[in-house]
Amino acid sequence: MNNQDHAVTIAPMDEYNQELLANVHPPDWANPQPADCYDLVVIGAGTAGLVTAKGAAGLGIGLKVAMIEKNLMGGDCLNVGCVPSKCLIRSSRVVADMKKASPYGVQPPEDVRVDFPAVMARMRKVRTKISPVDSAVAAKKAGVDVFFGEASFNSGDSITVNGQSLKFKKAVIASGARAVKPRIEGIEEVGYLTNETVFSLTELPKRLAVIGGGPIGCELAQAFHRLGSEVILFHKGSHLLNKEDSDAAEVVQQAFLNEGIRLVLSCQLQNIKESPEGKVISYRGNGGQESVVVDHILAGAGRQPNVESLNLEAVGVEYDPRKGIKVNDNLQTSNSKIYAAGDICMDWKFTHAADAAARIVIKNTLFSPFGLGKSKLSDLVMPWVTFTDPEIAHVGMYEEEAQAQGIDCNTIKIDFDDVDRALADGETDGFAKILHKRGSDEILGATIVARHGGEMISEITTAMIGKMGLSKISTVIHPYPTQANAIKQAADTYRRTLLTEKTKKLLGFLYKLS
């Protein structure tokens, strides 16, 4: 069946987006004739689906693998998530650096002008350049039968797509999630943006309201503010990024206030109406009943799993409409032949988490006979990053989590105004905080707040996976000067705690013998 029956478009349909579509949803694609039976059928061609399907097919042992996608291959990350958002963030950082050049002895121009259409064109160009990796052609070359259309289970061992039936031995659901529709009176009538539509803008919103103070809302609020929008950020919590370390969230919140982003915290949005002046948002906050007029509204307050239309009831797969498909620690659903991975079933809604989960699924579906040797999701040590400026990077436990589990712990904190490179860079707003077992150098978790904190957290993640404690990190030579030296400083701080009176006496004795 020709893919024109399920054609999609991406605004604006310029040369970049046309090339993107040619890769991730080719308009002339013809679905193949299904095999008699597939070893594995994967629903969804986002990160979890692509890694699962291409990983299994690419083993070279003759596995028959099919993948079904109804929209764009590459999923949110490539098309409406990680890639486009980081492109905007990069452009916005250039603007911020230009405006803050004076302390470095560089005189910025009186008026830093942003060509927003050019910013967005660059984003589309970069996205298109990355897209061949996630393309239909690349999957086909890897040995995957790619089907475009809507997937639906019709029996315990078959899935229907565009009138074709795909019989399977095992199946993996990786259909992802989408932006939650805000429950605010009038918002559907006036219209709003989400991460799925905001990257199609070609004109900068003069006045932008952002709903949600989580990672998505904060990243885009700061980026659009720096690019020239007048941004007001609404958050129902009393503090931005309330799921992060409170000290870390405070650094970012203060950065937002210093940059002039208007924050409305502990608020309840009541209704939105259209007016000649713009979209009128009425809300109740700490100052009582208030309203504000904006040109665009960006909703970034959560994700909802894509479980509709899969006909999961037909195969006995349990799910929650808001939380997604229910899986055990092996990522197996209530149907032993069907697994799930990625945003559809996991609290960790990150590209790298989906990638890691896909590798678990490959092993557990295909290479764990009689259920032996299955890998567990809970064994993963998962880092994540909120890409504000400064970034918040985290891995492992927070102190509150350790205490709740009865683990006696201690925190070592190195402020970046004590890190030489951070002083040289003028990037002292932040810290490295490492949590370890009291009386031990075992690392339980870490939070790094720094402009490039995401580039630094992997050292801690590697140490945790490799069972390397702070004492060992202290022996690792870090190039000077780097901001990552904060990690070594934290490790050295731990080592100094070992210099007890008893240790000093021993050293004195050894000195006398030397």
The answer to the question of residue 382 being in a domain is no
- Band of the pLDDT at 47, cuts 50, 70, 90? very high
Instruction: Tell me which residue range forms the domain holding 403.
Output: 390-501
CB 284 within 8 A of CB 270: yes
> Is 150 in the same domain as 202?
no
The pTM score is: 0.96
Q: Where are the beta strands (DSSP E) in 184-336?
A: 207-211, 230-235, 262-265, 268-275, 278-285, 288-294, 296-299, 303-305, 319-320, 324-325
> Is 159 in the same domain as 235?
no
Q: Which of 219-228, 250-259, 297-306 has the lowest mean pLDDT?
A: 297-306
Q: Is 214 annotated as a binding residue?
A: yes
Q: How far apart are CA 74 and CA 127, in angstroms?
A: 10
Q: Is 219 annotated as a binding residue?
A: yes
The answer to the question of residue 376 being in a domain is no
Mean pLDDT of 79-85: 97
The predicted structure's pLDDT at residue 5: 55
Determine how many CB atoms are found less than 10 A away from the CB of residue 122.
Answer: 16
Domain count, the chain: 3
Report residue 70: phi and psi, to 5°. Answer: -95, -15
Per-residue tokens: 98: 């230009």
Report residue 6: phi and psi, to 5°. Answer: -130, 40
Encode 133-159 in three state secondary structure: HHCHHHHHHCCEEEEECCEEEEECCEE
> Is 98 in the same domain as 194?
no
Mean pLDDT of 151-176: 97
Report residue 459: phi and psi, to 5°. Answer: -65, -40
The answer to the question of residue 333 being in a domain is no
Q: Where are the beta strands (DSSP E) in 312-371?
A: 319-320, 324-325, 338-340
Mean pLDDT of 42-46: 98
Among 165, 195, 222, which residue terminates a domain? Answer: 165
The answer to the question of residue 379 being in a domain is no
pLDDT single digits (tens) 370-390? 989 999 999 999 999 999 999
The answer to the question of residue 337 being in a domain is no
Encode 158-225 in three state secondary structure: EEEECCEEEEEEEEEECCCEEECCCCCECHHHHCCECCCCHHHCCCCCCEEEEECCCHHHHHHHHHHH
Three-class DSSP category at 115: coil
The answer to the question of residue 74 being in a domain is yes
Q: Does 4 have pLDDT greater than 80?
A: no
The predicted structure's pLDDT at residue 426: 97
> Is 292 in the same domain as 237?
yes
CB 324 within 8 A of CB 358: no
The predicted structure's pLDDT at residue 254: 98
Mean pLDDT score across all residues of the chain:
96
Q: Which residue has the tokens 């565009």?
A: 162
User: Domain holding 451: CATH number?
Assistant: 3.30.390.30
CB 177 within 8 A of CB 306: yes
Per-residue tokens: 28: 């002339």
The predicted structure's pLDDT at residue 507: 84
CB 8 within 8 A of CB 19: no
Q: Where are the alpha helices (DSSP H) in 378-419?
A: 399-404
The predicted structure's pLDDT at residue 456: 98
> Is 140 in the same domain as 206?
no
CB 410 within 8 A of CB 355: no
Q: CA triplet 326, 24, 454: central angle to 5 degrees?
A: 65
CB 48 within 8 A of CB 342: yes
pLDDT single digits (tens) 395-446? 999 999 999 999 999 999 999 999 999 999 999 999 999 999 999 999 999 9
* CB-based contacts of 500, cutoff 8 Å, min separation 6: none
> Is 153 in the same domain as 202?
no
Residue 285 CA to its chain's centroid (Å)? 30
Q: How far apart are CA 103 and CA 432, in angstroms?
A: 25
Q: Among 190, 389, 194, which residue's Cα sits nearest to residue 302? A: 194
Among 165, 195, 214, which residue terminates a domain? Answer: 165
> Is 141 in the same domain as 211?
no
CB 279 within 8 A of CB 453: no
Q: Measure Cα distances from 452 to 223, 449, 483 in Å.
A: 16, 8, 9
Angle between helix axes 215-227 and 246-259 (nearest 10 degrees) is: 20
Q: Is 213 annotated as a binding residue?
A: yes
- Band of the pLDDT at 2, cuts 50, 70, 90? low
Q: How far apart are CA 189 and CA 394, in angstroms?
A: 39
> Is 119 in the same domain as 260?
no
Q: Is 216 annotated as a binding residue?
A: yes
* CB-based contacts of 12, cutoff 8 Å, min separation 6: 200, 202
Mean pLDDT of 150-176: 97
User: Domain holding 21: CATH number?
Assistant: 3.50.50.60
> Is 119 in the same domain as 13?
yes
Q: Is 212 annotated as a binding residue?
A: yes
Percent of the chain residues past pLDDT 70, beyond the cut: 99
Q: How far apart are CA 167 and CA 158, in angstroms?
A: 4
The answer to the question of residue 176 being in a domain is no
> Is 201 in the same domain as 137?
no
> Is 8 in the same domain as 123?
yes
* CB-based contacts of 498, cutoff 8 Å, min separation 6: 471
Q: Is 82 annotated as a binding residue?
A: no
Q: How far apart are CA 466 and CA 315, in angstroms?
A: 40
Q: How far apart are CA 497 and CA 2, in angstroms?
A: 68
Among 110, 131, 165, which residue terminates a domain? Answer: 165
Q: Is 302 annotated as a binding residue?
A: yes
* CB-based contacts of 229, cutoff 8 Å, min separation 6: 204, 205, 206, 207, 208
Mean pLDDT of 42-68: 98
The DSSP code for 468 is -
Q: How far apart are CA 44 and CA 134, in angstroms?
A: 12
The answer to the question of residue 366 being in a domain is no
Q: How far apart are CA 72 and CA 134, in angstroms?
A: 9
> Is 153 in the same domain as 203?
no
Q: How far apart are CA 95 and CA 85, in angstroms?
A: 16
Q: How far apart are CA 373 and CA 187, in angstroms?
A: 50
